[in-house]
Every structure is written in C-alpha cells, then in structure tokens.
Structure 1
Amino acid sequence: MSVPIFATVGHPNKGKSSIVATLAQDESVQVSLVPGTTMRSRYFPMKVDGEVQYILVDTPGFQRARQALAWMKAQAVTAAERSSVVCQFVETYYNTDKFIDECELLAPVINGAGILYVIDGSRPYGEEYEAEMEILQWTGQPSIALINMVGEGDYIEEWRAALSQYFKIVRIFNAVTAEFHKRLELLKAFGQLREEWQAPLNKAVEILEEDRRVRCQRSAQHIAEMLANMIALTITKRLSPTEDEHAYKESLTQKYKIELRNLEQKGRRTIERFYNYHALERREKDLEILDADLFSLDSWNVFGLKKRQLLTTGAAGGALLGSGFDLAVGGTSFLLGATVGSMIGGASAWFSYNRISDIKILGLPLGGSELRVGPAANINFPYVVLGRAIYHYLAVIRRTHAQRDILSLDKAAGAMSTYFISDHQRKKLEKIFTRIRNTDDGTFDPALVDSLARIIEIIIVDLDKAP
C-alpha cells in the first residue's frame, strides 16, 4: 500500500460513517441515524493539495457475526490457519446472497487495511459484540478500538474492560465534536498499528497542521477583502436636471443594503469552501443574530463597539485625519489638527451611532446630478461586519464533517462582540478603516487589505486557541 488505509467496522449505526467523514474531511460521506444506510464499502481518500495522505473505508455493519464465526471455527484447526480461513470465508460467500455485509466489510481488511473498530459507548456492552471482535482478531490485521459517544449514556468503563482484551489501543473519540488536535492525536495513534505507517502518518499530521495554517491565512485575507469592499461600497445614480432625487433615495438605499448583504453572504460561502463545505445549509431564521438586519440596532449592540469604545475609536480616527492637516502645514499647527480631529471624531461617532451611511447629491460637470449612497460613514459599521465574520469563521472551523445539521449561529451570539479586539488592535484597525472609508470612488490601496488581514489573522488564531 502506498498510503495507510483504515477500514471502519463494527455494529450498524454506531458512528462508523461519522468517523470516516470527520477524518477524511468529506461531506459526501453518507451519515444517517437509520441502520443499514451503508451497504457497500466506499473508499474516501484524505487529500491535501491533491496528494492523498491516508484513506478511510466506510463499511456496512456486522449482521450475522455469530454464524460467520461458527463457519470459520468449523474450518480452522489451529490458530495459524485463522487468517487464511477468514480469506476463504470471503472468497466463498462474496457475490452470493449469504453474509453480504460480513464479506463487504472484511474484504478491505484481508486486503491490508488496518481496523478501526467502532462502538457506541453510550449503550451497554453485550456478548453479541464478542463474535465480531473475535473475527477481527482472526484477520491478524493491526487494529484499534474507538469508543464513539452517540447518545447520552455512559458505559465507557465496561466497554474499555471488554475492548482491551481484543485491542491493544482503545480510544474515546466523538466524531461529531472532535476538535482538530484530537483528530491529529488519533492519527498518531494509528501510526502505532503498523511500523511502516508511522512515518507517513507523522508526515500527514505535519501537512495537516500546515494546511490548517494556510487556510486560516487565506480566510483572514478573504475577510479583510470582504470588509474593505463593504466599507468602501458606493451605489450611485445619475439624475437629469428634471428628475427629483427624492424619488430615488429609498430605492438606492435599498440597493445599497442588498449589495452589502450579498457581499457578506458571498464571503461566508467562500470561507465554507476553504474548509471543504460545499453544500453546507444555512437557514436565515436560524441565523437570527448573525443574519440580523445590518441596519438594526440589535445587530449593532451585539456585534459592534459599545458607546464608550465608539468615543475612543472615533477620537483615534479623527486624530488620524487631523494629523494629515498637521503634516500639510509642516507641523506649525502644534498638533492642533490632531486634537480637534480627535474631538470631532469622538463626537461624530456618538451622534451617528445609529446612522449607517450618508446620502449625498453631487453636481455633475455637464449638468444634472448624481445621487450617491456610501461609503459606510458609521464608525461602528466595520466592527459589526468583522464581529459577524469572525463568529461565522469560528463556527465553521469548529464544525466536523460528521455534523449534518443546519449551521446555526445564534446559540452564543450574545457572547460574541468586538470586546475580543484589544485596544492596541482597535487603534490599528481604525487607521485602516479610516483610509478605506475616505475613498471617493470605491477604490483603495491593496496594501491596506494586507495590513488588515494580518491583524484579523492574529485575532482568529488567538480565538481558535481559546477554550
């Protein structure tokens, strides 16, 4: 085998497919609470940049383990014959109407796959499992037992006592909730099954860690680009001298809001694709907080800066603009520009707390006028968008591919705000936001996005490490 191959085997409906989905990072694995969903063995390679690191095999569950073991015992005289008898069993009954599931799950094992025996630690241990464990022992293939917690019960200790008699390695592994480092620890345990697997699996762990870092970096860059585009967004409409601008203000404002939401939704889909979620379902009513109207006061209060922060941040932004005045006059203003700018910035942040953007009417050189909505003038706006983006990002990276429920982002929304941004980071952010905000044509220096991305990367890395 060029790469390690592992077959998940066990009773039906014990989480075998969930473990395959999580470890292969593949949402195409069929996961269902209905027993018998997996009827044929399917191979799922775990790839990074097109290179296969290891392969997981999803198999059907044992159905007639006791009868199969009885047949094998009737054929084997000595322990030395057991593995060949298992092969004989598969050759005898494969493509017949007998022992269909047993042949299907044993085929990859006798062809060299390591065994991942999966049980449900929330259900009591029973003697009916011993026949299938003994069959797996007869194959002679390296094996590990995984205690998967499907339900609410806790029978881990009795399972551990039984499993340790058949398997050298026993691990507790919840496929639905397993964090990234838990998955890597399991891969390292796989390396103990067979000596020749240790090097490729250690390499796979290093590659997965680097891949995680690159995905984080790409995500930060994309969030920065999305945020900059949303801040600088401007919607315009040219009006003739006879047209009344008041007739278009509402429709243009609505178009502006829709475009902002579209940019945000596009950003979410991109982040999800970065982490191999191509069919992740999000329902609006389940995103009551994160998908709340960008222009509602509730959304500001949850994700944006508080009024005290608005005053200090607005002052920082105003001071930045005022400093430009100081430089323009060669410093002879004695920093008066920065001081006044700070006062104006703080005051405008307070009084525009509920205002998202100005609507401007600009005269055109050839007559008529231009009605313009944007860029986002409210100093709180980028922090709202950033808080929502980071909240969504964390929800995605902490999700496993075994989870098939609708992505719900409202459970901890109240705890997510821009308080996770330090004062030092906020000052840096506001300098960038101010420069992007003060564009006239919606264009900005790409270097600002790169600087913004570096700050966002530090923030999301720290939050990912947090408990």
Structure 2
Amino acid sequence: MRPTNDAASPGAWVTDAVPCFAVVGKVNMGKSAVLATLLEEDDDRIIRISPEPGETTRCQRLSLVLDGDERLRFIDTPGFQQPIEALRAIRILHGDGHGTPGLDTLRAFVAQSRKAKMFEDECRLLEPLLEGAGILYVVDPGVPVYDSFLAEIEILRFTGRARLALLNQRGTGKPAHEPAWREHLGKAFNLVRAFDAHRARFAARRDLLAALNQIDERDRDHLDATMALLDAEWQQRREQAAEHIQSFLRAALRLREHAHYAEDGPAPASARREAVQQASRRYFERISAMERETADALLGIYRHTAVQAQAMAGFGEDLDLASDETWRRLGLTRQQLTWVGAAVGAGAGIGLDAATLGHSLGIGALIGGLSGGALAFFKGDVIPTLKLDMARLGPLGGRRVTLGPPRNANFAWVLLDSVLIRYRQILSRAHARRGDGALAGEVATESIARRLPGDRQKALARWFRGVARDRDDEERSSAGWAALVETLEAIERDL
C-alpha cells in the first residue's frame, strides 16, 4: 500500500476513475495523522504531522496505489477556521423559505467569498466536495461538541455527499464526550466510526477502508476489488518477512568466527585466551549486526522508512546472549526442548526404519526419540558456551581458533524469539508516530516461541537441525518457512 503525493490544481481533485474522499475537520483534530496511518506514510515531507495547529494550509492529494494502480484518492484539506460565520453567510445567501441549502448555494458562497477574499480555508476544503468527493470528517471525541462543530456538521450536510464521521480517539479509555458526538453525527452522517490514528493496527486500517464501501454503494465493486488487492499485498509482505527471518536464522546457525595465535610465543596460554576472546566478541557482534539488519528489512517491508532498529537487548557488546537471564526469558522451556528434541529424533529414526524396509522393528524411532530428547534435556538450561575448534596452520605454525555456534539446543529458539519480538513491535507501530526515529529492542516478558503449536515447533526444529548439520534441503526449508508465515499471521491476530 503506497500513497502518492500530488498538490493538484483546482479542478483536478476528483476523478471518475477512482473513489475520492476529502478529509475535513477543524484544525488539530488529527486529519493528517489519520491519513498517515491509513496510508502507512511516516515521511513528514509527504504528510506533515505537528503539534502546532494549522500545518495543512492547502488541499493535498494522497493516492492509495496497489499493484501499480491508483485505487483510492484522499484529499487532505485545511481545517475549518470560521465555521459559524461561514454557516451564517451560506444561510443568508440561500435566503429564507427556500428549504435546505445545497450545492448551488455552496458554489455561490465559494465564488462570492473568493471575490471578497473571505473564508479562504472554508473555500479550499469545499472545492473537492463541490467536484464530487465524499467526506471523511475527523473529530476528537475528547473535546466537547461546541457550536463551531455543529456549524461544520451542518455545512457538510448541505453538500449531500456520502459522509463518514471518524472519532479519532487519542489514548486509552472511552472519551468523555463520545456519546454526545455520536448523537449529533448520527443525524448528519451515513456512518460513524471510532479510530485511533496513533495506535491503529492493520486490521483497524483495513476496517476503515472497508467502511467506505458502506457510504456509497456506487463504488462497492471497486472497493471490494481494492480490499482483495490490499489483502494480497499484506500476505505478500508476510511472506517476504518470513523469508528475511529465515535467512537471518540460517546465517546465524551457520556462523563461525576465527582467530589465530602463535604457539611458540612467550605466553601461548595467554595468547590462546586472547584469541578466543577476540573471536567470541566478533561472533556476538556479528549476531547483533545481523539481527539489526533483519529488523531494518522488516521495517522496510512495513513502510517504516523513517525508523531504524537499535540493538536488541541481549545481543549487544556486553554479550548478554550468554547470560542466564536471557535464556530464562526467551526460547523454549526445558520440557518443550525435550519434547521437540524427542519428536525430531523420532522422525529421523522413522527415516532409518523406512530405509531398512521395516526390518529394524521400530528400534530406530525408539533410539532417535530417546537420544534427541535426552540431548535437549541436558543442554536446555546450559548457558550457551560457543563450540570451540582448534586447528594447526600448516608450515608457518600457529593455530586457528574457530568459534560457533553455541552448543545450547535453545540457541535457534532464542534467536527466533528475538526477531518475532521485533516483528510484533513493528506491527504495533502506527505510521502517525513522529519524533522517535529508532526502534529500540526489548526483552520479552513472555516468549512467543513457547506459545507456538506443537506441529509448528516440530517443523521449525527439523529445519534448525537440518541447517546445523548442513542438510538444509528444500522440503525442510519450505516447511520451516510455512511455519514462520503461520506464526507471523498469528502475531498479527493477537495484537
């Protein structure tokens, strides 16, 4: 879902090709914030969001583009400045005893006001409405329904256009004035919806776009097709995210770090310790860098272009990945590791039984299950000591130290938890947020991996085992990727 920004000239706001909606309301009600979150745009150069009122001083066209085609057009308008005075002028222009003012009266009001250089903001916001745009009226239900708001509602009612009112909730709890707002808006608008531009997730954004279906049936087929494209794009993003996560896990599980030292020096034992420390430090620094790169890739997929990932807690230079606390919080429990290890080991044993045409009488499955489960049980709570290999360096002498990966069977699950936490953070971040350009890592209070269904844990465990043993075949890789896609979808539903 990618918006395009175009400061179109008057007379070019509305097109018959796509549904068009003008976003209107008093200044500082959150119109730009709603559009930023709705269109997933965090670039202030396209949609400026500021605590200062009146940032939008002219109409601005923002188009929702899916699969290369414009599907919806929104026009961000300047807020009402003098609604009470404008309503009075409209009624005087229309005259008494002539029913309710309509489009002809509003056109005459705009023409007269421009000539007199009055009501400039009201004239600008009425331009796209006179051309045929629908209305998305944004209000803050935490503010009382003043007479000026009632004047705005009345002017918008005069247009006769399809109208959706949006209660832009800010913060938790039900705003004190929401019932009054709903009472007044319900009399003048086709539909009233609540929305929090600073907390809305994809489901809320999708629901708001789908609600536009309900206010003008003439656009139903087009908007239904738009929703289908939106869902397809979101699924594609989810699959791309799973690919990045899988690539990170594969690279981390295969990572090895090397260092060298001389055996014939004055203090070979000291040189060996220093080489091990250097290789260990570089190993964890690379893990941290890969984790951040993956998080940045996920931010890009979900269009958080103004945000960069910071180091995940537990993956920094202090090597907290080797702390007992990290392993208590993240990854699987010892019992889960035992069960998954047994299941994966039994699966390998079943392969042995098949290869011997059943003549092993099931002993392969029994041995595989016992050994896999026992290995996970005894290593599940061990702080991750890096695997250490030593090798001579040929005729020049000296030795090469090779470190990695950690021996702990939970290593892959801790890494998986770290990136799933990142994913949840990214999905939870609304595009209207400004001022904090970094996605700081967090330590989970509760592991995501521990809550995965057993079949997903087994599919991932088989893939982890295959990668660790250089047997990353297509079948196990595809099953692991599918398990990741299902997990990402479940995280979205739980938000």
Q: TM-score, normalised by structure 2?
A: 0.82
Report if the CA contact (8 A) 1:72-1:89 is conserved: yes
Cα 1:95/1:175, change in 2 over 3 Å: farther
1:435-457 per-position Cα deviation (integer Å, ceiling 9, x unaligned): 21123xxx954654333111111
Are residue 117 (structure 1) and residue 137 (structure 2) matched? yes
1:92-137 per-position Cα deviation (integer Å, ceiling 9, x unaligned): 5559864332233222222322111111112222222121122222
SS for the counterpart of 1:8 is strand
Residue 327 (structure 1) shift: 8.6
Cα 1:114/1:327, change in 2 over 3 Å: closer
Cα 1:165/1:325, change in 2 over 3 Å: closer
Give 2:34's aligned residue. 19
Number of matched residues?
461
Report the Cα distance in structure 2 between the residues aligned to 1:223 and 1:156, rounded to whole angstroms: 42
The aligned amino acid for 1:214 is Q
Report if the CA contact (8 A) 1:302-1:417 is conserved: no
SS for the counterpart of 1:378 is coil
Report the Cα distance in structure 2 between the residues aligned to 1:173 and 1:250, rounded to whole angstroms: 53
SS for the counterpart of 1:190 is helix
Report if the CA contact (8 A) 1:316-1:430 is conserved: no
The aligned amino acid for 2:327 is W
Give 2:386's aligned residue. 357
Tell me how large the CA RMSD over aligned residues is: 3.2
Residue 459 (structure 1) shift: 2.1
Cα 1:361/1:342, change in 2 over 3 Å: farther
SS for the counterpart of 1:413 is coil
Cα 1:182/1:326, change in 2 over 3 Å: closer
Of residues 149, 161, 166, the one that matches 2:183 is 161
Are residue 384 (structure 1) and residue 399 (structure 2) matched? no
Are residue 456 (structure 1) and residue 456 (structure 2) matched? no
The aligned amino acid for 2:41 is D
Cα 1:13/1:437, change in 2 over 3 Å: same
Report the Cα distance in structure 1 between the residues aligned to 2:296 and 2:116, rounded to whole angstroms: 46
Report the Cα distance in structure 1 between the residues aligned to 2:127 and 2:441, rounded to whole angstroms: 42
Of residues 255, 265, 287, the one that matches 1:260 is 287
Give 1:397's aligned residue. 427
Report if the CA contact (8 A) 1:377-1:437 is conserved: no
Residue 154 (structure 1) shift: 2.3
Give 2:327's aligned residue. 300
1:231-282 per-position Cα deviation (integer Å, ceiling 9, x unaligned): 1111224566657543311111111111111111111111111111111255
Cα 1:241/1:458, change in 2 over 3 Å: same
1:272-294 per-position Cα deviation (integer Å, ceiling 9, x unaligned): 1111111125555xx65797933
Report the Cα distance in structure 2 between the residues aligned to 1:356 and 1:91, rounded to whole angstroms: 78
Of residues 242, 246, 250, the one that matches 1:220 is 242
The aligned amino acid for 2:462 is K
Runs of 5+ unmatched residues, structure 1: none
Are residue 173 (structure 1) and residue 195 (structure 2) matched? yes
Report if the CA contact (8 A) 1:289-1:413 is conserved: no
Report if the CA contact (8 A) 2:201-2:427 is conserved: no
Report the Cα distance in structure 2 between the residues aligned to 1:207 and 1:290, rounded to whole angstroms: 38
Residue 203 (structure 1) shift: 1.0
Of residues 338, 347, 352, the one that matches 1:311 is 338
The aligned amino acid for 1:358 is K
Cα 1:164/1:290, change in 2 over 3 Å: farther
SS for the counterpart of 1:309 is helix
Report the Cα distance in structure 1 between the residues aligned to 2:137 and 2:282, rounded to whole angstroms: 56
Runs of 5+ unmatched residues, structure 2: 1-14, 266-270
The aligned amino acid for 1:191 is N
Of residues 463, 466, 472, the one that matches 1:435 is 466
Q: Which moved more, 1:327-336 or 1:297-306?
A: 327-336
Report the Cα distance in structure 1 between the residues aligned to 2:241 and 2:100, rounded to whole angstroms: 55
Alignment of 1:181-220 (within 5 A): 181-220=203-242
Report if the CA contact (8 A) 1:300-1:384 is conserved: yes
Report the Cα distance in structure 1 between the residues aligned to 2:101 and 2:369, rounded to whole angstroms: 85
Of residues 3, 15, 20, the one that matches 1:5 is 20
The aligned amino acid for 1:264 is E
Alignment of 1:81-120 (within 5 A): 82-93=102-113, 98-120=118-140
Cα 1:330/1:158, change in 2 over 3 Å: closer
Give 2:7's aligned residue. none
Cα 1:282/1:229, change in 2 over 3 Å: closer
Report if the CA contact (8 A) 2:260-2:275 is conserved: no
The aligned amino acid for 1:374 is G
Cα 1:258/1:288, change in 2 over 3 Å: closer
SS for the counterpart of 2:51 is coil
Report the Cα distance in structure 1 between the residues aligned to 2:57 and 2:296, rounded to whole angstroms: 32
Report if the CA contact (8 A) 2:331-2:447 is conserved: no
Are residue 133 (structure 1) and residue 153 (structure 2) matched? yes
Q: Which moved more, 1:19-28 or 1:103-112?
A: 103-112
Residue 202 (structure 1) shift: 1.2
Report if the CA contact (8 A) 2:64-2:72 is conserved: yes
Give 2:6's aligned residue. none
1:316-365 per-position Cα deviation (integer Å, ceiling 9, x unaligned): 55666778888999988777676556555545442472124212112456
Q: Which moved more, 1:231-240 or 1:201-210?
A: 231-240
Give 1:278's aligned residue. 305
Give 1:371's aligned residue. 401
Report the Cα distance in structure 1 between the residues aligned to 2:263 and 2:347, rounded to whole angstroms: 38
Report if the CA contact (8 A) 1:225-1:449 is conserved: no
Report if the CA contact (8 A) 1:232-1:376 is conserved: no
Give 1:231's aligned residue. 253
Cα 1:324/1:170, change in 2 over 3 Å: closer
Residue 414 (structure 1) shift: 1.1
Cα 1:140/1:340, change in 2 over 3 Å: closer
1:3-25 per-position Cα deviation (integer Å, ceiling 9, x unaligned): 11111111122221121112212
Cα 1:283/1:462, change in 2 over 3 Å: closer
SS for the counterpart of 2:132 is coil
Report the Cα distance in structure 1 between the residues aligned to 2:170 and 2:494, rounded to whole angstroms: 26
Give 1:425's aligned residue. 456
Report the Cα distance in structure 1 between the residues aligned to 2:18 and 2:241, rounded to whole angstroms: 30
